[in-house]
A and B are shown apart, each in its own frame.
Chain A
């Protein structure tokens, strides 16, 4: 089977930097994705790492180490609107297609 672990809650202040970690145990791993979900809303795609290293998209960056089965999402210059749940998801091959398995999510609270 597979498992993903990420912290359940993280709190930070506006303007700060926060890192949300994700560790995984799985077979058939293709890559690690991150999704954001505001309360009552739909998950939205943030980033995807297939290779080791850092991917940067504006204030958000995502990192993957395949050898350590570990990744993180880095949010810089935090804003109040970043308060949301963040899910890591591993991309696995099932049959002939890749699918996602999601972690339980990290609730980020940004304080003024």
Chain B
């Protein structure tokens, strides 16, 4: 693994279904983030984790949950997907003292029908 990986690359999901987006990094960064990117709205922070065992809410957390059991993994779960959650999801990581320099994964394109 080099950097950040995300899975799946893309997914089509029926509304109401549960979905977990996976994110793994091998840079030993303490801080990790989940963003969604919608056309014309840039990147919006969903949840973040400054270190393993802690998480926090970002700008648009409703409908999403995260966990951080270890340094490398930061999964994002949609408990019951809705069409408004159709978006491209990016995971990122950084050293906690350098949040301005974030490294992004390749993204997951999610479509909720």
Tell me which of B31, B56, B101 contacts A48 (CB under 8 A): B101
Contact count band on A: 20 to 34
Among B42, B96, B103, B107: residue with most chain A CB under 10 A: B42
A100 to B103, Cβ gap below 8 A?
Answer: no
Cβ–Cβ contact B99 & A100, under 8 A: yes
CA distance A42 to B107 in the complex (A): 7
Mask, A5-40, CB within 8 Å of B = 1, is: 000100000000000000000000011010000000
Q: Do A45 and B102 touch across chains, with their CB atoms under 8 A apart?
A: yes
The 0/1 profile, CB within 8 Å of A marked 1, for residues 17-28 of chain B is 000000000000
Q: Which residues of B contact A41 (CB under 8 A)?
A: 106
Residues of B within 8 A of A (CB): 31, 33, 35, 40-45, 48, 50, 56, 58-59, 90, 92, 96, 99-107
Which residues of A approach B to under 8 Å, CB–CB? 8, 30-31, 33, 41-45, 48, 50, 87, 89, 91, 94-105
Question: Can you list 30 contacts pairing A with B, beta carbon distance less than 8 Å?
Answer: A8-B40, A30-B100, A33-B101, A41-B106, A43-B43, A43-B90, A43-B92, A43-B102, A45-B102, A45-B103, A48-B100, A48-B101, A89-B43, A89-B100, A91-B99, A91-B100, A97-B50, A97-B96, A97-B99, A99-B48, A99-B58, A100-B99, A100-B100, A100-B102, A102-B35, A102-B42, A102-B44, A103-B42, A104-B40, A104-B42
